[in-house]
Amino acid sequence: MSFDFPTFLVAATFLTGGIWLLDALLWAPKRRRLAAAAASGSGESAQGAAMGYKEPVLVEYARSFFPVILIVLLLRSFVVEPFRIPSGSMMPTLLVGDFILVNKFSYGLRLPVLNSKFVELGEPERGDVIVFRFPRDESVDYIKRVIALPGDQVYYRDKTIYVNGEPLGQIPLGDYIDDNGQPTGLIEVVEAVGDDLEHEILINPRTGDFPRSCGVLARGPVTVPEDTYFVMGDNRDNSNDGRCWGFVPEENLVGKAFAIWMSWDGNRDGFPIAFGRIGNVIH
């Protein structure tokens, strides 16, 4: 069972905030009254008597942790959230071990846990690298590139994507060499998703367009349904993407990936941190 961190944050915020609020409204006034009564009866100062009626440890911890947890919840829910890349499906754009930042307000503000949108701010565009809840298992987050928008007709043949009948332009760069200087058998290609965006993809010339279980586009062009998006991985022949399971519903969007803040791969030769990738903007 995967750990539901958003639910934990919401629960922890309500728990610590609730304890702090109850103490402020109910228990703290009672402690102050007892301290004042003790001071008047014994003749000692009110400050000295109050020392005998210190706030409970539980309240002290709740008061200390509530602001921190609340800030983390707000930042993670509405501003930015970190993710780690677990697979090579977005190579060469993103590598295994990259830690990325995701803009949580690019496509509107959503309530944590409920994931219901309450503020409209924008919509995905072709070429955006997005994080979304996997439609077949919403406890799992996926990251892919938006290829087609609602209403677009999308088609894939001979390693080439066609959107509304037009092929996306491709310029071969040659054999792809990994970070350890080893040949991979893949070809690196520059692909133009739109007039203003080009990005690199990887193609395996020894495989077909569709793995055996991926038949969404195998029988011809498909029109992207309303309020959904068609996505693919940049590592075209090593990606479980829209060719296999269809479309991403709008309500499954998490945010737009925009930067790499750390890159750590224990399988790298030498030092595991790829300093040259830190701070890279994701295109």
263 catalytic? Reply is: no
Residue tagged 């010339």 (tokens): 205
Short-list 151, 153, 112, 107, CA closest to 130: 107
Catalytic residue (choose from 77, 104, 106, 144):
144
Q: What mean pLDDT comes out for the span 18-37?
A: 85
The pLDDT value recorded for residue 39 is 66
Is residue 262's pLDDT more than 90?
A: yes
pLDDT of residue 3: 66
pLDDT band at 183 (very low <50, low <70, confident <90, very high): confident
pLDDT at 272: 86
Q: What value does the mean pLDDT take over residues 246-269?
A: 92
* Least trusted range by pLDDT, from 26-35, 46-55, 266-275: 46-55
Higher pLDDT, residue 6 or 75: 75
Whether the model clears a pTM of 0.85, i.e. scores above it, the answer is yes
The per-residue pLDDT for 51 is 52
Is the model's pLDDT at 1 over the cut of 50?
Answer: no
pLDDT computed for residue 251 by the predictor: 95
Active site residue 144: yes
Cis? peptide before 82, omega within 30° of 0: no
Q: Does 38 score more than 90 pLDDT?
A: no
Catalytic residue among 77, 89, 106, 263: 89
Does pLDDT of 165 surpass 90? yes
Q: Which residues contact 29 (CB under 8 A, 6 or more apart)?
A: none
Whether pLDDT at 44 is above 60: no
Cα separation of 248 and 225, whole Å?
Answer: 10
87-117 residue pLDDT tens? 999 999 999 999 999 999 999 999 988 888 9
Q: Please name every residue paired with 133 in a beta bridge, in sequence order, or none if there are none.
A: 141
Query: Looking at residue 85, what is its pLDDT?
Result: 95
Q: Is the pLDDT of residue 182 over 50?
A: yes
Q: What is the pLDDT of residues 212-230, one digit of tens each?
A: 778 899 889 999 999 999 9
pLDDT of amino acid 164:
96
Lowest mean pLDDT among 32-46, 60-74, 135-149, 232-246: 32-46
Tell me which of 162-176, 197-211, 259-273 is least confident: 259-273
- Per the prediction, the chain carries an average pLDDT of 90
- Span 6-19, mean pLDDT? 93
Q: List the single range of 37-46, 75-84, 223-232, 242-251 with lowest mean pLDDT.
A: 37-46
Query: Which long-range contacts (C-beta less than 8 Å, at least 24 apart) are formed by 109-114?
Result: 109/78, 110/77, 111/77, 112/6, 112/9, 112/10, 112/73, 112/76, 112/77, 113/6, 113/7, 113/10
